[in-house]
Amino acid sequence: MLIVAYDNRSDIEIEDTALEEIEDAMMRTLLHQEVEIECEISFSFVSPDEIKELNAEYRKKDTVTDVLSFPMHEDFCKNKKAIICDNPYLPLLLGDIVICTRQAEIQAKEYGNTFTRELSYLSVHSVLHLLGYDHMEEADKLLMRSIEKEIMNDD
């Protein structure tokens, strides 16, 4: 149901068990959102310098960030059925996720998480972006956070 193409360009090795937990978190996100067809996600782990460059180029923010999402379907939430039904090719390419491993390490310590749990959370967050969610408005932020908590089982 989910194909993930990983690319680790960071200086931190990501264990297979962490990749399995990340994939599980992404699968839970897709199931939560009732996306029940085969999907593909391109997933990159990068350095602070690389994510800062990407953030500057695509978001005009010259800072390091934890995760960036590049959805293939900007309006997936509104047109989910059309996007899924009109797709003559499977798997459905959802988009790209880029995570800064160093920033994830910092946040894991800050929030009292393991590195793997932080990567899983960032993956859930990013898949929601690939599915069309955002947190630009307070109501959208509250909705997205609520969904993240449900998926991560953080009641």
pTM (2 d.p.) = 0.90
pLDDT of residue 5: 95
Binding residues for Zn(2+): 125, 129, 135
Bridging pattern class, strands 39-46 and 92-100: parallel
Domains of the chain: 2-152 (3.40.390.30)
Cβ atoms within 10 Å of 114's Cβ, excluding its own? 12
pLDDT in tens, 81-110: 666 666 666 788 899 999 999 999 999 999
Q: Which two tokens stand for residue 154?
A: 């953080």
Q: Are 73 and 83 contacting, i.e. CB atoms less than 8 angstroms apart?
A: yes
- Please give the Cα distance from 4 to 91 (Å, whole number): 11
pLDDT of residue 80: 63
Cβ atoms within 10 Å of 104's Cβ, excluding its own? 23
Binding residues: 125, 129, 135
pLDDT in tens, 40-64: 999 999 999 999 999 999 999 999 9
